[in-house]
Structure 1
C-alpha cells in the first residue's frame, strides 16, 4: 500500500508532497474532504506503535480544548483523531510497510531517502 494522508489546504503538506519522489504512485487522501475511517486510523496506529504517535500536540484545538492539562490515554488519542482531522500529525506517508508521521525535517528526509531507494 502506498498512501498519503494530508490536508490539501496546508502549505507545509503541499511543500512536502512536491519533494517526494514517485508521488504519482501514491493514493492521496485529503482528510478534510475524505475523513479517515476507524480502520485506517487503527492501521496507522499499529504501524506507528501507538495512537499518540499519530497525534498532533501542536493542533490549535489541543490548546483551545485544554487537552494539554489532561492526561490522555490511547483511547483518548484515537477518539480525538477520529473526531477532528486537525489532531492527526500530517502528513502521514505509508509505503511498503513503512510509516512516516509528521512534518519534522528529520521525518521528511527519512521518507525521501526511503522512497528514493525503493
Structure 2
C-alpha cells in the first residue's frame, strides 16, 4: 500500500497513523508516478484537484484553465489528499468510505 500526500498534511498524518504498513511518498519531493496519476485522473476526474486550497485560490484564471495533469505537475499540493494505492485500487481522501474499505 502506498500513500501519496504531504508530510505537513494533517489528514495524511491521520491516514498514516491508521495504516502503519503504508509506504508514504511526499508528492512534493517524490512525485506521483505518471501511470498512477493517469489512473487517478481517469477514476476521480476533477475531484483530484483540491479547489478549496490556498494554492488554488492563488492561481490566476489562465492557470486554472490548464489541464488537471499540467496543474498537478506544476503544483503538486493541489492534489486532494491522500491518494492511496492499495492492491490495484485507488482511494482519494480519508473519508469514512475510504476508511471502511481499507480498515474493514
Say yes or no: TM over 0.5. Answer: yes
Query: How does 1:83-94 map onto structure 2 within 5 Å?
Result: 83-94=74-85
Give the ranges of 4+ consecutive aligned residues of structure 1 lying more than 6 Å apart after TM superposition: none
- The TM-score with structure 2 as length reference comes to 0.79
Give the length in aligned residue pairs. Answer: 103
Aligned to 2:70: 79
- Is 1:111 the equivalent of 2:102? no
Q: Distance in 2 between matches of 1:3 and 1:61?
A: 24
Aligned with 2:47 (options 53, 73, 81): 53
Q: Which runs of 5 or more structure 1 residues have no equivalent in the other structure?
A: none
Q: CA RMSD in A?
A: 2.3
* 8 Å contact from structure 1 (residues 55, 87) kept in 2: yes
* Unmatched runs of 5 consecutive residues or more in structure 2: none
Answer with 1 or 2: which has the greater Rg: 1
